Amino acid sequence: MKAIVIEQPIGTAGLNYREVPDLQPVPGMLTIDVAYAGVGYFEVLLSRGEFNAVFPMPLTPGLEVSGYVRAIGEGVEGFYIGQPVAAMTLHQMNGYASVANVRPELTVALDQLGADLDLATAAASIVNLTTAYLAIRDVYRLRAGDDVLVHAAVGGLGGFLGQVAKRLGAGKVLGTVGSADKTKLASAFGYDELFLRSEFVEETHRATGGAGVHAVFDPVGGAMRAQSLAVLRPLGELVVVGNASGEEDVPHSFNGIWLSNRKVAGFTLGSLSDSNPAETGQAAKEALSMLARNEIHARIDGVYPLEEAAAALARLEEGKTVGKLVLRV
């Protein structure tokens, strides 16, 4: 089988395309022939060695795939050979490969969604869309009419956060972007307004008449964390969903949180899918069903062959993508 292997923590230049031994079926797992793999910023961080303590090299990256069931491990029920599926490979970390072993609880049968969803879109969406769905519905617990702000609003995750918030009944949905040309993409991703990240405190107060927003969703990290608290209404909530900036953690006073009547929550799909796989898989099915019914949409900004994974990650690292990149396997 073919796979991308990261051997050294030197960035995207450390990705190598090579032949590796075929994966064999494992009890309790599904083996799938991979058609597409989603490309995410987490893989950029992996290539730099930022998670080497958890995922030691050499490793094959990749958090999400789509394809067809190749083999069914002992004890697995509810799937059939050749079935089209999308799966989260968050724990196996083996998505950039022609064959992957996946947990059945974290696998969605695409022919059971009630509407057609193509393999490329499924691979581009399952992790980020499920993250957005759970972060808004279960972590923040959105109420009808709530105003929200999303950082990195037209990225792989942000592009879904805005749409899901609108779909679930949000009021005003605002977002920040890193360049002026992206501010024109508001309606395409469910936003009422987009503005530059560097100006978001002033712009959020302007857009809300000084009231602030009920929630901020932050996948960026760094200085954005503390600044985001300044645009929350009393009883508002900052939901931390990533650290794409790679910056050091920002300390903050718990007494300050207490005295300002604000809340902070954190959410990562990786640990939840490990501790609550069935719940996570059900959420993924519900989220992908919304996509299949065209209630929301995914934007694929580029399709690269598997052997060009390094080029895809390098482009993502530049911060110029809108939506998601995928690898064609």
Domains of the chain: 2-125+270-328 (3.90.180.10), 127-268 (3.40.50.720)
Residue 249 has pLDDT above 90, yes or no: no
How far is Cα of residue 5 from the mean position of the Cα atoms in its chain? Answer: 22
Mean pLDDT of the 113-139 span: 97
Rounded to whole angstroms, how far apart are CA atoms 165 and 151? 13
Mean pLDDT of the 157-165 span: 96
Q: What local confidence, expressed as pLDDT, does residue 9 receive?
A: 92
Mean pLDDT of the 132-146 span: 97
Residue 91 confidence class, pLDDT cut points 50, 70, 90: confident
The model carries a pTM of: 0.95
Residue 93 confidence class, pLDDT cut points 50, 70, 90: confident
Number of H helices, E strands in the chain: 9, 15
